[in-house]
Amino acid sequence: MLPHAQAVTLDAVVTTMYRITVVVAVWCFTACPPNLLYARDDGRFADSPLKEWFEHLRSPAVVWPYQDRDGTTRIRCFIPGAGT
């Protein structure tokens, strides 16, 4: 294959991936609109020693675990507006 043909093929793959990502994102926001997702406190953890800490938690950070290639569990964090 010619180098130009490889670049065109790669561009097509990248464009397809972007389109799939947009379609999935739109589907997620229409299937589970954020305004219908509520946090609730039904009192199950009222006696928890961490209750006071959770009451004062005001961070907009989103944190999730993931596993790297070696299978090690890592923590990823997104803080809106942090620029990193």
Q: pLDDT at position 59, please?
A: 67
Range of the domain at 17: 1-35
The whole-model pTM stands at 0.34
For the stretch 1-22, pLDDT in tens is 556 666 777 788 888 888 888 8
Q: Is residue 51 in some structural domain?
A: no
The conformation of residue 65, written as its DSSP 8-state character, comes to E
Q: pLDDT at position 64, please?
A: 85
Count of structural domains within the chain: 1
Q: pLDDT at position 83, please?
A: 62
Q: Is residue 20 in some structural domain?
A: yes
Q: Which two tokens stand for residue 47?
A: 């006696």
pLDDT tier for residue 68 given thresholds of 50, 70 and 90? confident
pLDDT tier for residue 51 given thresholds of 50, 70 and 90? confident
Q: Is residue 12 in some structural domain?
A: yes
Q: Is residue 17 in some structural domain?
A: yes
In sequence order, the β-bridge partners of residue 78 are 62
What are all long-range contacts of 38-46, with beta carbons under 8 Å and residues at least 24 apart?
none
